[in-house]
């Protein structure tokens, strides 16, 4: 059975979600919706499973929406797929499961969601202010940012130069199977650093490198 995998853009409009659902229903496809960042928009559209419940499997996790140490995944899908899903997953720690259950029940989870939305709103604005046009006009709440590289820089040369300044970045090639299948770009993690001061320092270093002439800098690999 063919499978349509959709890395959830929580900002994907409802009209497009309805179209995807119709395609799945008409072509015997199963939709796997990755919803780990779905909590970020406060007024998010409904998941794809609302429009094609018998064809959709929703996968999410509390490690992004609550705390990285809570390695609990959540899967919702049609009954016909539940046995296969159970066989594929690993049972989580009972203690971790109990923590998540209590936090959802007593409102802690919702309070953490609100705090994370507020914090990531500030970090996204911070990145836009420091990187300017280099941020590519990407809008909306996000945990990471894609930044295109100028022609004078190669991905590996920029990665090495950034690391010499104490900043670790991921290059676009890290996320593709076939080399050269993606434009030259960096993936900057906005949620990794413990505070905005360290994030500001790292983004400033990145901005200075982007503004420099990469062709004149030695590549140390």
Dump pLDDT digits (tens) for 163-176.
Answer: 999 999 988 887 87
Cα 19 from Cα 13, distance rounded (Å): 10
Enter the DSSP assignment of 104: H
User: How high is the pLDDT of residue 218?
Assistant: 45
Structural domains of the chain in order of their starting residue, each with its CATH number: 3-106 (3.40.640.10), 121-216 (3.90.1150.10)
Say which residue the tokens 């909590």 belong to. Answer: 39
Least-confidence region, from 2-11, 50-59, 155-164: 2-11
Say which residue the tokens 């992004």 belong to. Answer: 64
Judge whether residue 4 has pLDDT over 60: no
Distant-in-sequence, close-in-space partners of 186: CB < 8 Å, separation ≥ 6: 146, 147, 149, 155, 158, 159, 169, 170, 171, 172, 206
Judge whether residue 220 has pLDDT over 50: no
User: How high is the pLDDT of residue 136?
Assistant: 66
Cα 64 from Cα 143, distance rounded (Å): 9
Enter the DSSP assignment of 47: P
Q: What is the DSSP string of 175-212?
A: G-SSTT-S-SEEEEESSSSSSHHHHHHHHHHHHHHHHS
pTM over 0.95: no
User: How high is the pLDDT of residue 181?
Assistant: 66
Q: What phi and psi, each to the nearest 5 degrees, are found at residue 164?
A: -65, -25
Judge whether residue 90 has pLDDT over 80: no
Judge whether residue 138 has pLDDT over 80: no
Judge whether residue 141 has pLDDT over 80: no
């Amino acid at each position: 059975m063919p499978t349509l995998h959709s890395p959830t853009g929580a900002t994907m409009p409802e009209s497009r979600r309805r179209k995807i659902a119709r395609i799945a229903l008409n072509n015997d496809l199963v939709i796997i919706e990755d919803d780990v960042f779905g909590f970020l928009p406060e007024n998010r559209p409904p998941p794809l499973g609302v429009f094609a419940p018998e064809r959709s499997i929703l996968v999410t996790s509390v490690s992004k929406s609550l705390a990285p140490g809570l390695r609990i995944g959540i899967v919702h899908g049609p009954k016909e797929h539940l046995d296969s899903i159970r066989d594929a997953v690993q049972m989580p720690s009972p203690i971790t499961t109990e923590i998540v259950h209590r936090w959802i029940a007593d409102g802690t989870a919702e309070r953490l969601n609100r705090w994370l939305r507020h914090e990531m709103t500030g970090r996204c604005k911070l990145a836009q202010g420091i990187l300017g046009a280099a941020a590519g006009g990407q809008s909306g709440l996000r945990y990471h940012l894609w930044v295109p590289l100028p022609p004078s820089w190669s991905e590996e040369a920029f990665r090495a130069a950034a690391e010499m300044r104490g900043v670790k970045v991921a290059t676009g090639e890290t996320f593709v199977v076939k080399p050269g299948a993606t434009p030259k770009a960096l993936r900057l993690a906005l949620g990794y650093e413990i505070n905005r001061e360290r994030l500001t320092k790292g983004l400033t270093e990145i901005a200075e490198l982007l503004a420099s002439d990469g062709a004149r800098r030695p590549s140390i690999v």
